[in-house]
Amino acid sequence: MEPLVAESLGSLLLCFGDIEVDRNWGDRAPPETEEQKKAKILLQLKLDERKKAEEERQRKLATGLFKPPTPEEEEKKLLEDKEDDARIANWQKICKPKPPIKQMLN
């Protein structure tokens, strides 16, 4: 170690006195619950389903096979999308990892 750094470090350590470190406690991320695992799977399935439906719609638009929906069909789809959005938001909330907890380390 360089002499200048050693002098500065020494005076700094003397300034703060003894610093104790408790090596017995630490943060631990709690394991995923069954509910979180289920929500994560359902969320991924729903997002994949939406992506596939959008790709299919784009493909039909490109080939000219897409027929515009009737107002009843459009209203029904909007209602289903709104319900799906609520489910997705709930699954995303459930999927969030729990905050770390303090635990005694061995």
Instruction: Determine the Cα–Cα distance for residues 39 and 34; give it in Å rounded to an integer.
Output: 9
Task: Supply the pLDDT for residue 64.
Answer: 79
pLDDT digits (tens, 9 = 90+) for 29-55: 888 899 999 999 999 999 999 999 999
% the chain with pLDDT above 90: 39
Rounded CA gap, 9 and 52, in Å? 61
Which long-range CB contacts under 8 A does 80-86 form with residues at least 24 apart?
Answer: 84/46, 84/50
**Residue 11 amino acid letter:** S
- Alpha-helical segments (H) within 17-33: none
Model pTM?
0.62
If one counts the domains in the chain, the total is: 1
Task: Please give the residue range of the domain that contains residue 55.
Answer: 3-104
| pLDDT tens readout for residues 50-68 | 999 999 988 888 887 778 8
Residue 65 has a pLDDT of 78
Strands 25-28 and 101-104: antiparallel
